[in-house]
Each structure stands twice: as structure tokens, then as C-alpha cells.
Structure 1
Amino acid sequence: MAIGLNVPEPEETCTDPNCPFHGTLGVRGQTIEGRVASTDMDKTVVVEREYDVKVPKYDRYMKRRSRVSAHHPPCLELEVGDTVRIGETRPLSKTKSHVVIERVSEEGGDD
């Protein structure tokens, strides 16, 4: 099943209704690339991304981080440190409005 994005479908299958590949969950809106910071929750990962913000007073940049909770379909194998791409969906819970659609690189890989 195509999800409307140019990402490869995982080789494993799952029965999760909130999987964009094997369920009925639609992906729309923005896509974000970040690093998996936590996999402690059930079917949820925390994706962290770093970006630079210009501080005009000092004419320098400072690093900021944002953390986004995303649904983790069982057909994707993820570990802490993996770089992943997540897509925006309808709200799945109070804090989850994104789903993991692709693992870009494994732990320790800097792309």
C-alpha cells in the first residue's frame, strides 16, 4: 500500500491499524528527520532534532532541541540513536500526532 511518500515499504508485515503501510493511518503535512532519543514506551518513540537559532544580540548561533512523540509501528525495527523520518498524521493520543515512516540510518551513523 503506497502512503503517498517516496519511502520503501518495510519487509515485515504487521496488524497494527495505525501503521501507514499495513493499516489505515494516513500521512499528511510535514515530514521531520531526527534521532530516536527513547524507545521506553509501548508503540511510541521520542524523536529529537537539533537546530540552530540566531541570537542577534551576540551575532552568534545557539543550539536548540525539540522532542516529538511518534507512533512506532511493529514492522519497523528501531533502537535508540537511529536516525528516522517521521510524518504528520491525525492525533493518535494527547501527545502523538506523528508516525515513523522510515529508518534513514542506524545508530552511530552521521549523514
Structure 2
Amino acid sequence: MAIGLNVPEPESTCSDENCPFHGSLSVRGQTLEGEVASTDMTKTVIVEREYDVNVPKYDRLMKRRSRVPAHAPECLGLSVGDTVRIAETRPLSKTKSHVVVEQVDGEDAATGGGD
């Protein structure tokens, strides 16, 4: 089943209704890449993105980070440190409105493609 993004479907299956591949969840809006920082919650991962912000007063760059909670379908099998691509979707809970759609290889993530 195509989800509207150019991502491969996972090899394993799941019975999660909020899985974009095996359930009825549709994706829309932006896609982001980041690293899984936490898998402590059930069916949820925290994806952390680090970026640089210019500080004109000191003519330097400052590192910032954002942490985005995302739904993790069972069929992806994610762990801490994995680089993933997440897509925006309808609100799934008070804080979750993204879902993990792909686990990205290390060399693709280093080039920064897809943002």
C-alpha cells in the first residue's frame, strides 16, 4: 500500500491501526529526519534534531535541538541511536502528530538530504 511518500514498505507486518503501511493512518505535510533519542514510551519514540542558529551579536553559530515525539509502528523495530524519517499526520495524542515512516541508512543521513 502506497502512503504518498517515496519510502520502501517494511518487510515485517503489524496489526497497528496507526501504522501508515498496515493501518489506516494517512500522512501529510512535512517530513523530517532525526535520531531516536528515547524509546521509553509504548509505541512512541522521541526524535531529536540538531541544527545551527546564527547569533549576529557574536557572529557565531549556536547549536539548538528540537525533540519531536513520534508514533513508532511495531513493524519498524526501532532502537536508540537509529536515524529515522518522520512524517506529519493528524494528531494522535496531546503531543504526537508525527509518525516514523522509514529507518534511514547512516550515509544518507550524513548528507542531510530530505529536509
TM-score, normalised to structure 1, is 0.95
Is the partner of 2:104 in helix, strand or coil?
A: strand
In the other structure, the counterpart of 1:82 is 82
Measured in 2, the distance between the counterparts of 1:5 and 1:110 equals: 17
Please list every run of 5 or more consecutive structure 1 residues that lacks an aligned counterpart in the other structure.
none
Is the partner of 1:75 in helix, strand or coil?
A: helix
Measured in 2, the distance between the counterparts of 1:18 and 1:97 equals: 11
Q: How far 1:10 sits from its partner (Å)?
A: 0.1
Amino acid at match of 1:27: V
Please list every run of 5 or more consecutive structure 2 residues that lacks an aligned counterpart in the other structure.
111-115
Measured at CA, do residues 79 and 54 of structure 1 come closer, stay the same or move farther in structure 2, by a change above 3 Å? same
In the other structure, the counterpart of 2:8 is 8
Query: Structure 2 matches for 1:44-83, cutoff 5 A?
Result: 44-83=44-83
Is the partner of 1:80 in helix, strand or coil?
A: coil
Measured in 2, the distance between the counterparts of 1:18 and 1:77 equals: 15
1:17 to 2:17 alignment: yes
